[in-house]
Amino acid sequence: MTLTGTQAVGAALSRIEGREKVTGTARYAFEYAAGRDVAHAVPVQATIGRGEVVEVDTDPVLALPGVIAVIWYGNAPRLGPSDDGELALFQSNRVAYRGQIVAAVVAETIETAREAAGRVRIEYRQEPHDVVLRVDHPAMYRPPKVAPDYPTDTEVGDPDTALREAAVSVDLTYTTPAQHNNPMEPHATVAVWEDGGLTLYDSNQGSSAVRDVLSRLFELPPDRVRVIAPHVGGGFGSKLAPHPPVVLAAVAAKVTGRAVKVATTRQQMFAFVGYRTPIIQRVRLGAGRDGGLTAVIHDAFEQTSTVREFAEQTTTPTRVMYAAPNRRTTHRLTALDVPTPTFMRAPGECPGMFALESAMDELAIACGIDPIELRLRNEPAVHPETGVPFSSRGLVACLREGAERFGWADRDPTPGARRAGRRMVGTGVASSTYPVVRRPSQATARVEADGRFTVGVAAADIGTGARTALTQIAADALRVSPDEVRVEVGDSRLPTAPIAGGSMGTASWGTAVVRACEALREEIGRRGDVRPLEARADTADEIASQPRLSRHAFGAQFAEVAVDTDTGEVRVTRLLGVFAVGRVINPKTARSQFIGGMTMGLGMALMEESVMDVEFGDYLNHDFAQYHVAACADVPEIEVHWIEEEDPQINPMGSKGIGEIGIVGTAAAVANAVHHATGIRVRDLPIRIDRLVH
């Protein structure tokens, strides 16, 4: 075997597992445990918004044929301590929100379990509930941090005085509704207890993370918990950490001594696996007549639950975007009787940039300056708050290339000036950004007896093409062709790896893979033979010692819309995204990720909205019949490009995450285009017909 130079990274390699998926041989969580004595658990959800469970009448249900057990607070096993109250399943009789799991039925078949769950009778002690987010809520407070670990507030200079003295200023409020993560594969888990340990076949975004949480909850050594997730049908952040259904499967399996399957329905996905919090944002910008920003103030008001605090990092992108000597960002939170929000694609950046980039558009109009020119004039040389240098910053290049490709120079800035039949046509622009993050990861690389290579890392491929990208990275590091490399992922028994979230997966896992492959090459060179060898890498020290730099991906989003003058119907006719994301590992899968993000951003702008029923304390539209997402007919031809960007200081591959930046800025670009088309400024998403027709 000769290790020779190849160039796998940068090639448009098709997905390694593509054939398995299209032929149906790729197995997902619910399809495991074949041949085992399998039972099914179905949750019983609270029908009150706040209160206590007094009694569960189990006898009539247990008498039904095929019912194995009814589990609730009165008979459930005790769990270990957890800092996540949402996972303390059946550990208290308190009801924190409508839809919370308060009991479960385990039966021989899923049909029997569902029927029996509907017959469980529960006596409650009901209390008044509070589910309405408002800025003046008396319980609004300042959280100690915002996700994942950012400062809650930041301040530089004297922004209030600068705002008062600004020649031009805007003071604007924007709102985004609750939005629910709805991956193609709902959450599902198969739990098996055997030999004193727990095995979970689970749909998740990180088997190592799920293992660690479940081992603490069931007070087991980590090596006695195994989490297997080779194929995952999407997550959008909802599968980054375990939710109650995972715990339910493990508890039910422990109680019954059987392998137990739990599969959430689409309706249940709206209750206990997370969502994006509704957010109220106030943005105040002050500038000189030339458009130079003198003051930036961005305040966010959000909700969390009473069982676990989650504070979305909404104003953090404002800290990095534009130069201004005086600035402040804040987050405030109130705990309501609602499910716990969680990460949803581009948490913080997505809703935060809708507000900031809409406000920048409004400031540009107030200053009489082109929106792209306003952004260019406020481009910072270093991080605007910390003064830390950027590892690279491609925003200006993205705006300029995007403007040329989109034909921005021919744009008449006058709102409502362009018509196409009975439709008003408008165009809009917005910037995108997302942080570049690496977390410590481990990986192994070994030579097999046949001379091929196997690389192992407990990464999660949630449909993004992670297997394929890691194969390309490993092939180049080993100096062999991709067909000589097999990558193993999705199993907590593989070397520990961080989650597939925060657009950090490839950067984190890829660094470990490169280092393991480099170590293996050295060992092969030292020994001079190809007998089975294995090398391991751990990147914790490398990442801890990396230089202090501001690492971010950037992009520019352009949208064209056509608004019907009679009905107010909005159609997005063109979307263009140009991105600066370092070295692109695989153009084919990268393009897919960008298009997916931009499509989700289109849905955010025009459709997605979880509507709260204040009387009952629950989201009304908890299915795809009423919760609308973008479908094929809604999505135009989306054009995606990226600029050449060299950034060797971020990781060995020089790559930046791409899974989330595509959604950032899209909604603002669409909203800005709607204003340009109609002269109506919609500051409350989604842009519904009733907000355009009066």
Active site residues: 660
At a CB cut-off of 8 Å and minimum separation 6, what does 29 contact? Answer: 185, 188, 189, 190, 201, 202, 203, 229, 232
Between CA 225 and CA 126 the distance in angstroms is 38
Between CA 91 and CA 74 the distance in angstroms is 9
DSSP assigned state of 408 = G
Give how far Cα 143 sits from Cα of 110, 308, 340, 501, 541, Å.
42, 12, 15, 23, 31
Between CA 286 and CA 297 the distance in angstroms is 9
Between CA 430 and CA 374 the distance in angstroms is 11
Q: Give yes or no for a contact between 457 and 489, defined as CB atoms under 8 angstroms apart.
A: yes
Between CA 256 and CA 39 the distance in angstroms is 9
Between CA 474 and CA 468 the distance in angstroms is 10
Give how far Cα 57 sits from Cα of 98, 254, 343, 353, Å.
19, 22, 36, 50
Give how far Cα 422 sits from Cα of 186, 562, 565, 567, Å.
41, 9, 6, 10
362-380 burial: b if 16+ Cβ within 10 Å, else e: bbbbebebbbbebbbbbeb
Q: Show the tokens assigned to 446.
A: 């070994």
Burial class for 523, CB neighbours closer than 10 Å (0-12, 13-18, 19+) = middle
Between CA 251 and CA 97 the distance in angstroms is 21
First to last CA, the chain: 73
Three-state secondary structure call for residue 435: strand
Burial class for 215, CB neighbours closer than 10 Å (0-12, 13-18, 19+) = buried
User: What one-letter code names the amino acid at 435?
Assistant: P
Judging by DSSP bridges, how do beta strands 638-642 and 570-580 pair with one another? parallel
Between CA 254 and CA 260 the distance in angstroms is 9
Q: How many CB atoms lie within 10 A of CB 257?
A: 12
DSSP 353-373: HHHHHHHHHHHHHHHT--HHH
Between CA 675 and CA 691 the distance in angstroms is 12
Between CA 594 and CA 463 the distance in angstroms is 13
At a CB cut-off of 8 Å and minimum separation 6, what does 634 contact? Answer: 572, 602, 603, 606, 607
Between CA 264 and CA 260 the distance in angstroms is 13
Give the total residue count for the chain. Answer: 694
H helices of 528-665, in order, are 540-544, 587-606
The residues pairing with 150 across neighbouring beta strands, listed in sequence order, are 146
Judging by DSSP bridges, how do beta strands 423-435 and 550-564 pair with one another? antiparallel
> Would the CA dihedral through 144, 148, 151, 153 be positive or negative?
negative
Which residue's entry shows tokens 């909850």?
217
Which residue's entry shows tokens 């529960």?
122
